[in-house]
Amino acid sequence: MWNDELEELFLRTGHRFRRVEPRRRMRDYVRGLLGPVGRKNGWQLAEYAGHRTPDRLQRLLNGARWDADELRDDLQHYVAERLGEPDGILILDDTGFLKKGTTSAGVQRQYSGTAGRTENCQIGVFAAYATTRGRALVDRELYLPKSWTDDRDRCRAAHIPNERTFATKPDLAKAMVLRAIASPLPIAWVTADAAYGQEWRLRRMLEETGLGYVLAVPKSQQVPHFGRIDHLFSQAPEEAWEQRSCGDGAKGPRFYHWAALQITSIEDFDGEMPTHQRWALARRSISKPEEIAYYLCYAPLGTTVERLVRVAGTRWAIEEAFQAAKNECGLDQYEVRRYTGWMRHITLAILAHAFLAAMAADAAAKGAAETVPALRLSPWQKFGGSWQLATHPSPLTSPSSVHAH
C-alpha cells in the first residue's frame, strides 16, 4: 500500500531529525508535497497539514537542526534499492527557478535553459539516476555566480557557508558524480548535454574512475588527431549513417540517423592491456538532416554502437524528472531565500519525487500500470469528499503529455 511505503520511507529517514518536532514537520511537509495542494508554498502546505500558520514548516526549512546532505544520502540508498540496476545511468543537467529581487541565494540575471533566455533566476545543478525500472533525481547543488561568491557579506546575509566558493556548473556536477560513485547506486554510465560534455576535466575524471560516458559536445569540439567533430562527420560516407532508435518517447521509438567512429583504445592507468575505447558519435535528424548533434564517448571494449545510442537517448529522462518533480512535488514552488532553506526544500522535494518513482516502478512490475509512464503517478485519490492515500496509483497525466527531448 502507498501509505505503508511512505511510512517506511519516513522511518528510514527519521533518524536524521533528532527532535520529535522537526521529524513530524518533515512528514507534514513531504505529505503536502505529494498531496492535492494547488500551489505548494508555505501557507497552502500548512493549511493542508492542519497548521494555523506556516511558522512550523518555515522553521523546518530555515531554523531546525538537521542536515540536508545526510537526508540526500538516505535518498540515494532508497533509490539504489528500489530502482538500482548494474548498468544504471547517471544524468547531469541544470534547471532554472525564476525569481524576483536580488536577495534569494544565487539569484541574478543569467541564462536559464528552462526559460530559454536570460532571466532573473536561480540555477540548480542536478543528477538523476535512470534504469529500465525508472528514474529519479538523486542529488542537487545551487549554482552561485561570482557576483555572489565575491561578496562575502552578501553570502553571509543569505546564510551561504564560508566554504562555498565559486564553482562552475561542471565542477558541481563532478562533485555529484564522486558522491554517486561513493553511494550504493550502481552506475555504469554518465551522460549530459554539451554544457557539461565539453568540459575535458569532467571527461578525464570519468575515465579515471572507470565509468563509461556518452556526453554531448558542441560542433566545434576538437577530436584529437581529427580536428573539429563536425568536420570529421561531414566526411562520413552516406552508408556510415544508420537509422536507429535511441529509446521510446511520447509517440513511440525516437528514430534518427547515427554514425559512429572509434577513435583510440585506452590503456589502463597501471599499464595493462586496453580495456576501454573512445568514440565519436553523431545523431542526424531524419526529416531535417542539417540538424546534427555530436557526442564524445568512452566505453568498455566490445560495447556496441546500439548501446552508445541508447545511453545518449537516456539524457531526456532528466527533463522528464524535472517536469514531474515541478508539477507533482513542488520542486519550484518554494518561497525561501536563504541557501539552507533552498537546499532543504529541494532535498525534500526530490525525496517525494523518488517515492513516486518507486511506486511507479512497483506498479509497472505488477502489471498495474503498463501504459502509464514512470513518475506520472499520484498516490492521492478522493474518497467521500476528502483526499486520502490510495492503495493503488492513478495517472495524473496521459503519456502524450510527456515530451521527449
pLDDT in tens, 9-28: 999 999 999 899 999 999 99
Question: In this predicted structure, what is the pLDDT of residue 248?
Answer: 82
The x, y and z cell numbers of residue 70, run together, are: 545526510
Question: In this predicted structure, what is the pLDDT of residue 253?
Answer: 87
> Which H or E element spans position 170?
helix 169-182
Q: Which stretches of the chain score pLDDT less than 50?
A: 369-405
Question: In this predicted structure, what is the pLDDT of residue 134?
Answer: 95
Question: In this predicted structure, what is the pLDDT of residue 405?
Answer: 32
Dihedral through CA 9, CA 366, CA 127, CA 186, nearest 10?
90
Among 151, 163, 86, 97, which residue's Cα sits nearest to residue 125? 97
Question: In this predicted structure, what is the pLDDT of residue 377?
Answer: 44
- Please give the backbone phi and psi of residue 223, each rounded to the nearest 5 degrees, phi first: -105, 120
pTM over 0.85, yes/no: yes
Task: For residue 94, give the DSSP letter.
Answer: E
Look at the block and give the residue holding cell 526549512: 61
CA 44 to chain centre: 26
- Please give the backbone phi and psi of residue 380, each rounded to the nearest 5 degrees, phi first: -110, 135
Kindly report, residue by residue over 156-202, the tens digit of the pLDDT.
Answer: 999 999 999 999 999 999 999 999 999 999 999 999 999 999 999 99
3-state secondary structure of 12: helix
Question: In this predicted structure, what is the pLDDT of residue 48?
Answer: 92
